[in-house]
Structure 1
Amino acid sequence: MNREPMKIAMHGVTGRMGTNQHFIRSILAIMRQGGVTLSNGDVQPIEPILVGRNEDKLRHLAENVAQEKIGRHIEWTTDLESVLSDDNVDIFFDAASTQLRPEVLKKAMHRGKAVYCEKPIATELDAARELADIAAQTEVKNGAVQDKLWLPGIRKLRMLRDQGFFGDLLSVRAEFGYWVFTGHTADQPAQRPSWNYRSEDGGGMMIDMFCHWEYLIKDLFGPVDRVLAHALTDIPERIDETGRPFPCTADDAAYAIFVLENGVTCQFNSSWTTRVRRDDLLTIQVDGTKGSAVAGLRECWIQNEASTPKPTWNPDVPQPINFYDNWQQIPNNTEYDNAFKIQWELFIRHCADDGDFPWSLVSAAAGVQLAEAGVQSVDQKAWVSLKNTYEKA
């Protein structure tokens, strides 16, 4: 049985991530499949309305792109207040400015809307905690994007963990990032928005990526107990979208050691100023007593105890071992849907009273907390403890 459509206001989806992952590959894909199937067999249709400031971009998405993908136009508006006041809007989604996000989410929750948003939910922990408190007070359904939990490579790591492949977990090492062009050369424009490199606009590697690393580490390996971080601005000047140079005020590289409550050490290097010579833009190596695994965004390679080579140190002769040998690639034994779409479907089910949604604003506040602890560690050049504070975030 088909239910009445659930109306979803999508605020700030004209950017690269909002357009591609949330609008086209999630919402329009869900509409194209007819909605979200609930556990009782009912189908929950959805109906989006796009909200933003750029009329041309909104019209293009709502008319041209929607026509191409689902065969019809959808609603759009530049009047945010009218959408927030519309009793027909069930879910308010925000992917616009991080700095403006807390105020917009507050309004939406106080007006009874379920809220779902990109991360970070705020640039400061106090603001993130306030959002979580308002969600509890208003009792609205709420959630934040934690897309990397559903990447194929991460799902394969989780499967290995659940099967006991690693034995006793020893350590985790992650390499993330790539070279983001500065824009100084006309033929090589920057491939990320300029605000990412201005702290006054909410940019910065730690506030951006530590929010991801928090939920990823916690889900796969356990909660973080303490962090030691070093961050810096490698590139002092970049070119913005208008072709003008601007000073970079945010960190574009961050290096961190996270020690978990269970004693496992996780090392995460994150950089927009590195050139890739590894399997993917993100690789996570997990070492255990019985085996190791290296996961990228989609693929995962494993080496068990029996197939581990026995190298010896002798720099006077060419290395006789090709260390890429003796690794086995995990086959794709299932279909892997888009990670953003998977979480969207879970949140829509949750709003239809069909299942819990643990990836709440409380959970997202813990990511802001880790980012803030990273900043504190950099400033103090010291370990910062998070013990017993995660669920209070």
Structure 2
Amino acid sequence: MGVRTLGVAMNGVTGRMGYRQHLVRSVLAINEQGGVALSDGGRVVLEPILVGRDAAKLGDIAARHGIGEYTTDLDAALERCDVYFDSQITHARVKSVLKAIDAGKHVYAEKPTAETVAEAVALAAAASAKKVKNGVVQDKLFLPGLLKLKRLVDSGFFGRILSVRGEFGYWVFEGDWQEAQRPSWNYRAQDGGGIVLDMFPHWHYVMENLFGRVRSVYAQAVTHIPERVDERGDRYEATADDAAYGVFEIEGGIIAQINSSWAVRVNRDELVEFQVDGTHGSAVAGLRGCRAQHRALTPKPVWNPDLPATARFRDGWQEVPDNAEFDNGFKVQWERFVRHVVEDAPFPNDFASGARGVQLAELGLRSSAEGRRITVADL
């Protein structure tokens, strides 16, 4: 019982995701609510130590939010923390995470955990050898839309699931006549960029947690926009893929088709949508909403190109009710990881799971390069 403090070194908070979702909407929001509630009635408050390369930016963030400690010295931060969190750009992650593991710190990291399967597996092995708690951010699992979809799956609503269709993406401006809304490193392979490495780990844990293990992948990764303009106004060659079109076989014979693109204009209700079709019903889930259609309510369209379509097909779908309060997904997972560290509560989103996500990205790129379907072996 009572309140205890957990020191958290946060590396990468000067980036958009690290700042908005992890620092402000997770760690600071947890403290504002009085900490993480434990099973024994006690609570845990988090004491962030900001880490990064730019002392001025760190100092500005610290002053803005009343945070007492910030440093550009990772070793110094590791001496004073219990948990190390990493949301740096991908190619800088492995070295820092290994240093934290070697220091005996529990580690929580953004995905992908590494750029290669070998590195991701090495991280998982190092964490296991040191017996430190480890976790990877898998925020999409906690989106309201996907939680509703999971509810339908668990209820048996779909009957036998046949297929999954996913559409993700939006137009990222090239940076010339309008400023790009994603950082330029995303489009440089040498800096760990590329939509496959960014998004396939997401799709992996979504498929694995909702439908089952991924058994094969066929992908086509492309760079639609070969030249972009960076934050300084300089033109640069886009060496990383900005779109990927994947077909995945999931255990049980489920086929998933997922398109990911930063070169597509949105004509759907949300930036990401998944349609799941089964023998007894179908559903379409986005970030927040989820609509479903049972087989008893399914209309019987007839193909006739000579007559205009009069049916309003979307009117035949029903909204899945909330039936719960949905908190910020990043914050929810932070709370679960803190409970995992403090009281050994279950946390399945570990580095081994993260390695499987990196594996799918690596095999997706290999599939694209070789033009063939590739089996996903168990790690």
Q: TM-score w.r.t. structure 2 length?
A: 0.98
Deviations 1:348-381 (A, max 9, x none): 0111024021111111000000001101101110
Aligned length: 379
Q: Cα distance, 1:332 vs. partner?
A: 1.9
Q: In structure 1, what is the Cα distance between the partners aligned to 2:68 and 2:160? A: 52
- Give the equivalent residue in structure 2 for 1:69: none
**Are 2:350 and 1:360 aligned?**
yes
Partner of residue 287 from structure 1, selected from 272, 277, 282:
277
Q: Cα distance, 1:383 vs. partner?
A: 0.6
Deviations 1:212-231 (A, max 9, x none): 01111000000011010001
Deviations 1:173-196 (A, max 9, x none): 0000000001110xx210000000
The 3-state SS of whatever aligns with 1:249 is coil
Partner of residue 131 from structure 1, selected from 118, 123, 136:
123
- Give the equivalent residue in structure 1 for 2:172: 180
The 3-state SS of whatever aligns with 1:325 is helix
Q: In structure 2, what is the Cα distance between the partners aligned to 1:198 and 1:159? A: 39
Structure 2 unaligned residues grouped into runs of 5+:
none
The 3-state SS of whatever aligns with 1:250 is coil
Residues 9 and 89, structure 1, Cα contact 8 Å, conserved in 2: yes
Partner of residue 262 from structure 2, selected from 265, 268, 272:
272
Q: In structure 1, what is the Cα distance between the partners aligned to 2:6 and 2:292? A: 43
Structure 1 unaligned residues grouped into runs of 5+:
67-71
Deviations 1:287-307 (A, max 9, x none): 011110000000000111121
Q: Cα distance, 1:4 vs. partner?
A: 2.7
For residues 232-381 of structure 1, what are the structure 2 equivalents within 5 Å? 232-381=222-371
Deviations 1:198-244 (A, max 9, x none): 00000001110000011110000000110100010000111111111
Matched to 2:212, the amino acid is G
- Give the equivalent residue in structure 1 for 2:36: 36
Partner of residue 153 from structure 2, selected from 154, 158, 161:
161
For residues 60-99 of structure 1, what are the structure 2 equivalents within 5 Å? 60-64=60-64, 66=65, 72-84=66-78, 86=79, 88-99=80-91
- Give the equivalent residue in structure 1 for 2:102: 110
- Give the equivalent residue in structure 1 for 2:23: 23
Q: Cα distance, 1:98 vs. partner?
A: 1.0
Give every structure 1 segment of 4 or more consecutive aligned residues whose post-TM-superposition deviation is greater than 2 Å.
1-4
Matched to 2:264, the amino acid is T
Q: In structure 1, what is the Cα distance between the partners aligned to 2:183 and 2:339? A: 33
Percent sequence identity is 53
Residues 7 and 47, structure 2, Cα contact 8 Å, conserved in 1: yes
CA RMSD of aligned residues (A): 0.9
Q: In structure 2, what is the Cα distance between the partners aligned to 1:39 and 1:27? A: 19
Matched to 1:52, the amino acid is G
Q: In structure 1, what is the Cα distance between the partners aligned to 2:33 and 2:176? A: 43
Q: Cα distance, 1:59 vs. partner?
A: 1.6
The 3-state SS of whatever aligns with 1:382 is coil
Q: In structure 1, what is the Cα distance between the partners aligned to 2:143 and 2:210? A: 13
**Are 2:137 and 1:152 aligned?**
no
Q: TM-score w.r.t. structure 1 length?
A: 0.95
